Amino acid sequence: GNSVTQMEGPVTLSEEAFLTINCTYTATGYPSLFWYVQYPGEGLQLLLKATKADDKGSNKGFEATYRKETTSFHLEKGSVQVSDSAVYFCALKGGNAGGTSYGKLTFGQGTILTVHP
């Protein structure tokens, strides 16, 4: 079945530092890949997505490139801000989920990011 593995957290950075959160996945076929962000006490917000190999998703300074050869979708940001402190989830949909299960998202365990001034 499908699975997503994220780098262990928590991650603590100083403001303006470079961010990388690793994400690798297991799925056959061609899943769609997503990064969601969850702020304290809130639901998940879609941050970016990519639906085919070599696509780059980007939003609010965050980027991630769909790498089929390494089955990865690492999240990066060149200069983080305090307001980026949140939990980040990598997720996939489709691939070999099969039949009517194509709709469900499979999530990684989440990475807590804390950015200090």
Partner 1 sequence: NAGVMQNPRHLVRRRGQEARLRCSPMKGHSHVYWYRQLPEEGLKFMVYLQKENIIDESGMPKERFSAEFPKEGPSILRIQQVVRGDSAAYFCASSPRISGGPVRETQYFGPGTRLLVL
Q: Interface mask (CB under 8 A) for partner 1, residues 42-81, using x and -?
A: xxxxx--x-x------------------------------
Q: Counting every residue, how long is the chain?
A: 117
Q: Which two tokens stand for residue 65?
A: 């490139």
- Please identify which residue in 21, 106, 113, 115 interacts with partner 1, judged by CB under 8 A: 106
Looking at the DSSP bridge assignments, the partners of residue 64 are: 57, 75
* Rounded CA separation 101/111 (Å): 26
- Please identify which residue in 21, 93, 113, 115 interacts with partner 1, judged by CB under 8 A: 93
Query: Could you tell me which residues come within 8 angstroms of residue 41 by beta carbon, excluding any fewer than 6 positions away?
Result: none
Q: DSSP secondary-structure letter at 9?
A: S
- From the CB of 14, what's the least distance to partner 1, in Å? 25
Phi, psi angle pair for 103, to nearest 5° = -75, -25
Can residue 94 be called a binding residue for partner 1 (CB under 8 A)? yes
What number of chain residues touch partner 1 (CB under 8 A)? 24
- From the CB of 43, what's the least distance to partner 1, in Å? 4
Q: List contacts with partner 1 (CB under 8 A).
A: 31-32, 36, 42-46, 49, 51, 89, 93-94, 100-110
